[in-house]
Structure 1
Amino acid sequence: MDSHPGKRTRDEFEADQGPPQHFDEDSESKRQHIDPAQELINNVCKDIRRLGENPNIINQIEDVSYISNPIVAEFEKIDKLRNSILSTVYALIIEQPQKINALSNLVLICNAKNFVVAKYVVEYLHAKAQALLDTIRVVPEEGAEKKTEKKSKSALEEDAGTFNNLKSILKFLATLAPIIESYSIVNLYKQFLTLAIELQDSTPEIRNGIAQEIFYNVLIAIPYLLSNDNSEELIDRVNELVELAKDFKVVEISSNVLLQPFDSKLENYKLPYEPVKMIDLIYKAISDLQGEDKKWENLQNKLFLNFSELVQPIIKEALENNPISNEVIKHQLPQLSLPSVEQVQSYKPTGSIDKLWKENSRVLFQVYNATEFETVPKIDTYFGLFFKDLSFDILTNLSFNKNEASIQLSILDLFFSKDLFAPPGSSIDQLSMIHEDNKSGENLPPLSTWKIEDIAVESILTMIFQLPVTLHREIYYYTVLIACCKESPDSIAPVFGRAIRYFYNNLETLDYELKMRFLDWMTTQISNFDFSWKWDEWVNDSKKFKNLKFHPKKNFIKNLIAKEVRLSNKKRIGESFVTVDPETSDIVSLEEFNQYLNISLFDDEEKYILDYDTSLFQKEEVREVLQKLYNEKKDQLAAKPAVFAQEEIFYNFSHPELPLNAVSSKVYDFVVAHWKPNNEFNDLCKEIVKAAEEFPEINAQRFLVNIIFQTYAYIGSRSIYSVVSILSRDVNKLKYLSGSTIEYGHEEPKFEEAELTPEEINDRQNWIIESIFRVWVHQPQEVFLILEYLIEFDVLKPDVLVKKTLDLEHNLILGNVSCMESINRVLNNSFVAEDPESFKKLVLILFTSITNNLNVLSKSLQSDSSEIIKISQEFEDPEDMEAMKKVDQEWLFFEYKGLLKSYFRRYVKNHDIDYLDEIKQLLESIENVPAKEDTLKWLDEVSK
């Protein structure tokens, strides 16, 4: 009885991870001296962890029966064995809940051989459940919540939460219904369901997230009650639970705009699907599963594997040979002591899934099922919700072991009915044939077209694209996907390809923040697979949008290549732009994408450098010298087989043909030397200013800031660590130049007080940013890393950088991924700092700049502010530069609006805030009426 012919086993998965270890005589000798009891514990616990992974059901049950023998023999004798088994059972239930049914077989068989084992398991899990509930009764200390907020995310993310873990315990106890007295497990379900109803009724007009979670968890777990017992008495009791669930009132806010993964851009685009909430689906899904006759025939043998015909003979034989009792011993399962409604109301979850339920409606993300047939169960069915729920728990609770998480998701189909899924690795073409045969009636009953690979990948992508935040750092999910692909490359790679195309095809409507996550995932994915991708699929879009800068697809292609260049080099990435000619099978270079290998901060790098330096010297004749030097440098670089980023820096202050070259050489010598005292730096600054003032056309202070900061950046250009080292060495010198407050060390000489006006300080701050732009213009990531360190050293004010990146002249925050990532880090660092007033100021500056940009753009696009700004989706002539400029402005408007939503969601929603009135005023200042009305809806979704 092989439930999954052709399915890879756990051992086959692990065989791909490397060759076996060589025999070591010393190691073998040490192994032989292991305590026999400890060896027994190790072997038994390992076998328990592997339950259900054997695709042959007959062999699997035989294994379970075999494992049960040492357990029942030694369980009462060896305390350490007993404790290890109980803790392993609990860990397996929480971390790998798909194994719950396989694990229950072990307990049922052990119960027939030695009822004490099952008695301990039931009591242990009851105690675990009670201990979880007791934590809710603990009143947090004053300020404890704020302390928790300041913890790093990693400190919180390992735990899914009290109520989420209780759900898994309920599921497992439900599978033990045949050995629990009086079906008292149903009473536990009823307890939790009643708590959910009372909890929501206590705030009838306001959504109660924990009440929704408890309600959802009880309903998603109900079918487990019937997995090992489908007697009429139990069915009647389960039906009573479903009837009771009718009393739960789903209370939701009218809109969830902030949490929707796609944005129609004020009806400019059609959404790929209408987002749905988990809480709206679960009751109907369970009712449909129950069936009109309430016999649960849609469940029987269609979800859980039918172990009874194999397990019951083993139980029968064990009972016949049991000297104590020939009847099944049943165990008491007392009710739990649940916390009061008031205590649950004040519960402040730290577990990631509990916290998500409490703070937000759970909106489900969908990727597949765009074909005529289903490759994953429909999301509004119990099966669709069931596999999502399992996958979420596996991903969340196995986060400490990404390889194990990937294996368990890849073999998820082993644990459920063999008829649920198509054969592993089935292609879309093969599934199409199955679908056609289903329609024609050739397949009776119809065969499944569900792909376990699609379910696994869609579940991981749902976690990646979870709003408002991911439960774990995104890189965890990326690495799980990579591990899945490496486990089953032939079957998973096409699944990834379909997902990537889905996201790319819907970039116009994908939420702004989710576009950044897609960009990150795509970067990680192709960089881990030799930078291979079918670039030819995007050639036409690149050509169509060549004169646009901010169209989502053009921007995505440009930034993806920029991120890949950062991870490798231009030459290697350029070599990946190939395709195969279908007629000749020759490798063809896709030169269309070579333009994106220039990742410079500004489009025309040469013009930018020459314009900048000319303006610094304010002498037009200097431009000829600069042009000559630039051409010479380009020729030198062109002759080199490989060019490093620092070699591309164009730094010529000390060149003899340029003004102020003598004093510039002194600056170079000063910075390259070891630390020098403040008075020497002060004298150097005076000398620079005096020399510059001999040229009336030169702004001496601007030149001073540029020569100092550009020189520091240039000398430290070997690596980011080098530049940070010399910047940190001379922090107070740089603060003196920037107009920042200086904290002097013991006996450190002080600078002369510079009486600078706020305007002069602001100028200096901007010059610092521009000087770093100028040095590293060809490598934006270096630009923003240096600027971030200057902010960290309190040399640069973060609000000045924020304003600079939101300047409508260049729109760096929207056009350059390094800039976007940097500003997010700057904001996040300010958010977690112990200075709420500074963060409030920064957020208000951010929102003010974005709303101002929206107003400037709307004025240039339309005369009637009451109308929706329309995006030109089709244009007759991509070479019409005036028309393209207008399309770019249309996209800029909606990208800024998407950016505003992203920051509102991140820094306003679900936080204790004292600037909501100011935020509301800023949103009300948006002049385009449809956009303003749309953004004001966000305020309805803010937790108070």
Structure 2
Amino acid sequence: MSGVKRRRNFDDDDGYRDFRPRMPKRQRVPPVVQLCKEMMPDIRTLGETVKAFEEDIKFLSEAIVNEFGNEEYFRDALLKTFYAVVVEQPHKQPAIALLVMVVNASNPVAGKSILNHFFSKLQQWCDNSIDDGFQVTSNETGPWNKVKLLLRFLSLLSPMILEDELLSLYKKLFELSVGLNNSEPDKRNPLSEAIYSNTLLNVPYLFFFRRENESLRQKVSKLISEVEVQYTMKKTDLSLVQEYNKNFPYEPIQWIQAVLPNVKRVLANDLQQLAELFPDYSHLLKEQAGDQGFNDPLTLPSVDQLKPFSGLDRGLGSVDGMWRVPRYSFRVYLANEIGEFETVVPFTTYAGMLFKDIVIDIVESLEFNRKEVAKQVITLDLFFKPGIFTEPGQSIAQLVALHEENPIITTYKIEDLAIEKILSMIFKLPNVSHPSAYFYTLLVEICQNSPKAIAPVFGRAFRFFYHNLDALDFELKLRYLDWFSIQMSNFNFSWKWNEWEGDALKFGETFFNPKVTFMKNLIKKELRLTSNKSDVEDSLTDVFRPFTDSSFVPSQDLYEYYQSFFKGYEISEDQIKDNSLFFTESSLPFSDLVQQIVNYFHKQPLDRNISELVSILEKMKVDNETIVVDFNRLAVTTLVQVLVFSGNRSISHANKYIGDARTELLEILGKIEASQEQKERWIVEAIIRYWNCNSQNGYLIADTCKNFDLISSKSILDFSFLDDKGRNWGLVDATSIESTFRVLSELSSRRDTSVETFIFVFERLVEIASNVVEELGLSVDSELSASMADPDEMQDESADLQKLDCSWKYEGCMGFVKSVLRKYADEYASALEKLDSIINERVTHQQTKRTLQGWCRELSEL
């Protein structure tokens, strides 16, 4: 055996172990599982490839006919896939319905089984609508929205279903909507409006595959006529949820008002509009017996059962929740902005309303798959009649040229339609259905998929909102700021700033001008979103470079703040530096003692003794009482700024220092001879002044102090709304405004909290507005709009600008009131008597009083 190695038999039990990697045995996938893996993705993407559509229908229908009754696994997978497409991608419903009916023609048992499945789902969602324990997922659109989508699908199956059975579903739903509407004659019923509008919107789908059915037309016509007579329209205008406070750029239309006229028009003239909207699949549809029926009649909840749920304010789903307040059309791309033609199918047409409804359903129900949403909303046109939209990616300049050459050519852009509808969800009042980040990142995804086509669409939207900033709702200005800044940060901060130079030059010295305020907040926000400041600065023109100063208050104000601690002792502006502790400047007489305080807080909590800290403070007081105005204020400010300075690397770092020092701070604060309100004011001011270069950090750290019970919510709000030489940072600075909403939202989330702080904010804003009216010298009966200077016709520029700035301050203040009343309607509705008292006691200007009282009356509708 010399020279030959004996190969060990590792399979023998001879003491050796085989350490060679073993490949797992390849498990054989059952044929039915493999079939489902191949078929179900094809069903989910049915219709996306137009050229392969006919072949796909043929292949899939044959496979379903052959396999449906063989394996339960296949049946379940198929029904789940059908259902998911129907409720998550409603634009594909006609394709799925065609597939089902082709299957039904060859295998009626399979067709009946599929029909039963969808009917059972319809019944299930009707039952869920009165279930207190219904669990809502993040992408849940709501029971009644599901009913809408399932009814639409069943309507598409009309060739295979008994006519009267299908129409009975419509009749029952219309009767329910009428009953709910009549249950309180003088009050709007949100659920009634939802069922009425959703059901009407589905009616044309009855004719998708049956346009020549005269009997069906007559029955539908009769049904619609009955509903029109029975349903009492209640037009309820709620100014609290209007996107604009004045000068609407377009006339908003309520869904409830538009749906019936739209449906009647699309069914008129021998269904001409319908033929121009829906694709013709008749050559693919096999003859249907039309004898399929439902096993049981649909059982709807009663009006009494639905009453507790009819406000649609119980979190049953995102789309259902949109009916909580009156739903209005929302526009961004107006004809007069580009020429005498529209780029979005008008809301006053059935097609325009339907497209918007479908985009909402895709965006809301597919929230878990942002990439798929981005793809589907931009390819929506593939599922409707060719020729409705222009070629994707055509520029406005190209459309203008084409329209001049041929005025009847279509100018509708699928990009405009999709983006406008997503923006309507971002700008929806009173609430956004998902965290705003979802919509922002969705728009980024859409743009990244096709930047050349989408970037100009965004640009037009940016310009539209900027042009209407004066009138835009106060809260929506923040959402616009967020969206704009996120888009810019994702696209190299590129923007044509020169377009805004005129406003910056004309109004740059004012404090409350909404456009200048927006520019300043935008640039500051962009600077916070990047670690490379030059990225932002390089994108700006010279006019905007002064706005790159990220200071909360100007350097002179900061100097005056620190100088106010001293008497007979002058400090210099050079001693005040960003991210450094002013009181440790070596030239200050007590800097060494402040450094000892810094060293004290750098020790581990267990190694500290508060007596050491007290001794340092006592020495500071004794040694410097001749130059210090108020040592109590200095002591509080020094302690707070030392902690903020020590934790200035990150918010979590600051939280740790403040949390560790909480007990010591409370003990020392307890010995300070000053009111609690005064001490809390000093704390907030110390934090915000330290973080003057980044007030967002300052307000977040103030939140930390609030969470550790060192200060109250009210103290932060009180500081934000201080009037200083006619300026009020809490009305214009985005970080301060965000802080106000954040503080109130946290209080609102605690259901057992007092409404005192909410009343304080209302009272403070009303007081500011009333003071502005006095400053403008208005009589109690005068209209504010009539007294405002026209920016384009200023004579004495300085005086007129000052008057304009006061008017902008008033409008900003009233806009803030409107936003907090809407956003925290439950809290304010419980304090109406107190609000009324504040209005009557503090407001003499009649226009202001009428506006505030009108908003308070509307609170019960939210």
TM-score higher than 0.5 here?
yes
Cα distance, 1:355 vs. partner? Answer: 4.8
- The whole-number CA distance in structure 2 between the counterparts of 1:808 and 1:487 is 47
| Pairing partner for 1:279 from 244, 249, 256 | 256
| Alpha-carbon contact 1:75-1:117 (below 8 Å) kept | yes
1:864 aligns with 2:779: yes
Letter in 2 for 1:769: V
**What are structure 2's unaligned runs of at least 5 residues?**
1-20
Letter in 2 for 1:134: D
| Alpha-carbon contact 2:388-2:410 (below 8 Å) kept | yes
Letter in 2 for 1:260: Q
Q: Secondary structure of 1:406's partner?
A: helix
| Pairing partner for 1:765 from 676, 680, 689 | 680
| Pairing partner for 1:817 from 724, 730, 734 | 734
Cα distance, 1:378 vs. partner? Answer: 1.3
| Pairing partner for 2:49 from 54, 68, 71 | 54
- The whole-number CA distance in structure 1 between the counterparts of 2:419 and 2:829 is 37
Which residue does the alignment assign to 1:637? none
Which residue does the alignment assign to 2:429? 467
1:128 aligns with 2:121: yes
- The whole-number CA distance in structure 1 between the counterparts of 2:765 and 2:118 is 53
Which residue does the alignment assign to 2:399? 431
- The whole-number CA distance in structure 2 between the counterparts of 1:31 and 1:931 is 77
Q: TM-score, normalised by structure 1?
A: 0.84
**Structure 1 residues 212-239: Cα deviation after superposition (integer angstroms, max 9, x where no partner):** 1000001111111000112111111221
| Pairing partner for 1:305 from 261, 276, 279 | 279
Which residue does the alignment assign to 1:808? 723
Which residue does the alignment assign to 1:8? none
Cα distance, 1:569 vs. partner? Answer: 4.2
| Pairing partner for 2:81 from 78, 88, 96 | 88
- The whole-number CA distance in structure 1 between the counterparts of 2:827 and 2:409 is 49
- Aligned pairs for 1:916-935 within 5 A: 916-924=832-840, 925-935=842-852
- Aligned pairs for 1:863-942 within 5 A: 863-869=778-784, 870-874=787-791, 880-908=797-825, 913-924=829-840, 925-942=842-859
Which residue does the alignment assign to 2:267? 290
Q: 1:279 to 1:254 in 2, by over 3 A?
A: closer
Letter in 1 for 2:856: L
**Structure 1 residues 377-413: Cα deviation after superposition (integer angstroms, max 9, x where no partner):** 1112211111111111111111111111111101000
Q: Secondary structure of 1:298's partner?
A: helix
Which residue does the alignment assign to 1:617? 566
Which residue does the alignment assign to 1:829? 746
**Structure 1 residues 283-325: Cα deviation after superposition (integer angstroms, max 9, x where no partner):** 111112222x5x32221x211110112x13xx36xx9xxxxxx
Q: 1:329 to 1:203 in 2, by over 3 A?
A: closer
1:684 aligns with 2:593: no
Cα distance, 1:366 vs. partner? Answer: 0.8
Cα distance, 1:333 vs. partner? Answer: 6.0
| Pairing partner for 1:341 from 299, 303, 315 | 303
Moved more, 409-418 or 234-243: 234-243
1:70 aligns with 2:51: no
| Alpha-carbon contact 2:469-2:515 (below 8 Å) kept | yes
- The whole-number CA distance in structure 2 between the counterparts of 1:659 and 1:593 is 40
Letter in 1 for 2:691: W
Q: 1:733 to 1:413 in 2, by over 3 A?
A: same
Which residue does the alignment assign to 1:261? 243
| Alpha-carbon contact 2:821-2:859 (below 8 Å) kept | no
**Structure 1 residues 771-807: Cα deviation after superposition (integer angstroms, max 9, x where no partner):** 1122111111111111111111111111011011011
**Structure 1 residues 3-44: Cα deviation after superposition (integer angstroms, max 9, x where no partner):** xxxxxxxxxxxxxxxxxxxxxxx9999888433322211221
- The whole-number CA distance in structure 1 between the counterparts of 2:25 and 2:217 is 55
Letter in 2 for 1:776: W
1:551 aligns with 2:513: yes
| Alpha-carbon contact 1:253-1:941 (below 8 Å) kept | no
**Structure 1 residues 727-782: Cα deviation after superposition (integer angstroms, max 9, x where no partner):** 1122222333445xxxxxxxxxxxxxx486xx621111111111112211111111
Which residue does the alignment assign to 1:7? none
Which residue does the alignment assign to 1:714? 645
- The whole-number CA distance in structure 2 between the counterparts of 1:570 and 1:895 is 33
Cα distance, 1:448 vs. partner? Answer: 1.4
Letter in 2 for 1:252: K
| Alpha-carbon contact 1:196-1:248 (below 8 Å) kept | no
Cα distance, 1:55 vs. partner? Answer: 2.6
Cα distance, 1:911 vs. partner? Answer: 6.4
Q: 1:597 to 1:28 in 2, by over 3 A?
A: farther
Letter in 2 for 1:413: D
| Alpha-carbon contact 1:204-1:251 (below 8 Å) kept | no
**What are structure 1's unaligned runs of at least 5 residues?**
1-25, 149-154, 265-269, 320-326, 440-445, 579-589, 634-647, 740-753
- Aligned pairs for 1:439-454 within 5 A: 439=407, 446-454=408-416
- The whole-number CA distance in structure 2 between the counterparts of 1:938 and 1:68 is 57
Same amino acid, percent of matched pairs: 30
Q: 1:223 to 1:251 in 2, by over 3 A?
A: closer
| Alpha-carbon contact 2:430-2:822 (below 8 Å) kept | yes
Letter in 1 for 2:598: Y
Which residue does the alignment assign to 1:842? 757
- The whole-number CA distance in structure 1 between the counterparts of 2:169 and 2:186 is 27
Cα distance, 1:438 vs. partner? Answer: 3.7
Which residue does the alignment assign to 2:496? 534
Which residue does the alignment assign to 2:460? 498
Q: Secondary structure of 1:274's partner?
A: coil
| Alpha-carbon contact 2:177-2:192 (below 8 Å) kept | yes
**Structure 1 residues 883-929: Cα deviation after superposition (integer angstroms, max 9, x where no partner):** 43332111001100000000000112x66942121122233432321
| Alpha-carbon contact 1:365-1:462 (below 8 Å) kept | yes
- Aligned pairs for 1:219-618 within 5 A: 219-230=200-211, 231-252=213-234, 254-264=236-246, 270-291=247-268, 295-299=270-274, 301-309=275-283, 311-312=284-285, 315=286, 330-332=292-294, 334-347=296-309, 349-353=314-318, 355-370=320-335, 371-439=339-407, 446-569=408-531, 571-577=533-539, 590-602=541-553, 604-605=554-555, 607-618=556-567
Which residue does the alignment assign to 1:584? none
| Pairing partner for 1:701 from 628, 632, 637 | 632
- The whole-number CA distance in structure 1 between the counterparts of 2:836 and 2:352 is 39
Cα distance, 1:812 vs. partner? Answer: 1.7
Cα distance, 1:574 vs. partner? Answer: 3.7
Q: 1:539 to 1:134 in 2, by over 3 A?
A: same
Cα distance, 1:165 vs. partner? Answer: 0.7
Cα distance, 1:670 vs. partner? Answer: 0.3
Q: TM-score, normalised by structure 2?
A: 0.92
Cα distance, 1:166 vs. partner? Answer: 0.4
Letter in 1 for 2:345: P
**Structure 1 residues 485-511: Cα deviation after superposition (integer angstroms, max 9, x where no partner):** 112212111111111111111111111
Letter in 2 for 1:382: Y
Cα distance, 1:75 vs. partner? Answer: 1.4
Q: Secondary structure of 1:296's partner?
A: helix
Letter in 1 for 2:717: V
| Alpha-carbon contact 1:207-1:251 (below 8 Å) kept | no
Q: 1:901 to 1:137 in 2, by over 3 A?
A: closer
- The whole-number CA distance in structure 1 between the counterparts of 2:795 and 2:529 is 32
Letter in 2 for 1:243: S
- The whole-number CA distance in structure 2 between the counterparts of 1:406 and 1:564 is 25
Letter in 2 for 1:100: Q
Cα distance, 1:608 vs. partner? Answer: 2.8
| Alpha-carbon contact 1:68-1:106 (below 8 Å) kept | yes
Which residue does the alignment assign to 1:18? none
Letter in 2 for 1:419: G
Q: 1:735 to 1:403 in 2, by over 3 A?
A: farther
| Alpha-carbon contact 1:660-1:692 (below 8 Å) kept | no
Q: 1:328 to 1:356 in 2, by over 3 A?
A: closer
